[in-house]
Amino acid sequence: MKITQALLDDLTAKAKASPRLRMNLDLRNSADDQSQRMLNAIEPGSELPIHRHKHTSETVVCLRGRLVWEFYDELERICTETIELSPNGQVVALNVPAGQWHTVRALESGSVILEMKDGAYEPISDEDILQM
């Protein structure tokens, strides 16, 4: 599979049309693939809860647009760090350690990331969403 600008444009159009303002494209070889690899188009205004992945780190690469990752402290429930990602910025990719509370916000329309995690897909449970 080639990841082209046309493919990213199509994914962005689907994100804009989605009530969640985001859309992903599964890049695994099959449903039996024991990894998570996806493209994720995220539009400004998309609301992602503050969450964690207890059993895997998460590696993200910004392919286009601008996004900001926010990291949170579980006990004080405050944002402790923000990191802006963009293909032409100071930070183009990052690795979020397993168990780290975080969320992401798109700063520009057309923002797309490549997202990778270990192991099979596990939906986020209520205990993995930080209640503010």
Q: What is the CATH number of the domain that holds 11?
A: 2.60.120.10
Q: How many angstroms separate the CA atoms of 85 and 60, rounded? A: 9
Q: Does residue 20 form part of some domain? A: yes
pLDDT > 90 in the chain, percent: 81
Which residue range is the domain that position 19 belongs to? Answer: 5-118
Q: How many angstroms separate the CA atoms of 125 and 9, rounded? A: 31
pTM listed for this prediction: 0.93
- Going 68 to 8 to 18 to 23, the CA torsion angle's sign is negative
84: Cα separation from own chain's centroid: 13
Whether the pLDDT of residue 16 is over 80: the answer is yes
φ, ψ for residue 27 (rounded to 5)?
Answer: -105, 10
Q: Does residue 64 form part of some domain? A: yes
Amino acid at position 15, single letter: A
* Mean pLDDT in residue range 11-29: 96
Question: What is the domain count for the chain?
Answer: 1
Whether the pLDDT of residue 119 is over 90: the answer is no
pLDDT > 70 in the chain, percent: 100
Residue 32 confidence class, pLDDT cut points 50, 70, 90 = confident
Q: How many angstroms separate the CA atoms of 37 and 19, rounded? A: 23
Residue 64 confidence class, pLDDT cut points 50, 70, 90 = very high
Q: Does residue 126 form part of some domain? A: no
Nearest of 53, 27, 22 to residue 38 by alpha carbon: 27
CA angle 1/83/113 to nearest 5° reads 15
